[in-house]
């Protein structure tokens, strides 16, 4: 089962936790990988560079 994180601002495509997506740190918007190529890795709202969306790994420590 896939976990939906949000939708692409440009095309509306669902962005899943495992998919390649990009985030604007200042606007907090999501862009899919296809739209990221079209906007050339620049936020369409504030014109700042986009960063790759990553989720921190949770370490499970057995006691």
With 0.75 as the threshold, say if the pTM is over it: yes
Using CA atoms of 18, 22, 25, 29 in order, give the dihedral in degrees to the nearest 10.
-90
Average pLDDT (19-47) is: 94
Dmax over Cα atoms in the chain, in whole Å? Answer: 48
Average pLDDT (19-44) is: 94
Smallest CA-to-CA distance from 5 within 41, 55, 58, 40 is with 55
CA atoms within 13 A on the CB side of 23: 12
Residue 18 in 3-state DSSP?
Answer: coil
Judged by average pLDDT, the poorest of 38-42, 46-50, 58-62 is 58-62
Average pLDDT (36-45) is: 95
Residue 30 near residue 39 (C-beta atoms within 8 A): no
Domains of the chain listed by start with CATH number: 4-52 (3.30.40)
Residue 54 has a pLDDT of 83
Residue 2 has a pLDDT of 74
């Amino acid at each position: 089962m896939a976990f939906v994180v949000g939708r692409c601002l440009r095309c509306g495509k669902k962005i899943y936790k495992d998919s390649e997506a990009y985030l604007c740190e200042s606007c907090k918007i999501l862009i899919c990988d296809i739209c990221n190529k079209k906007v050339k890795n620049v936020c369409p709202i504030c014109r700042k560079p986009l960063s790759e969306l990553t989720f921190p790994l949770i370490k499970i420590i057995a006691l």
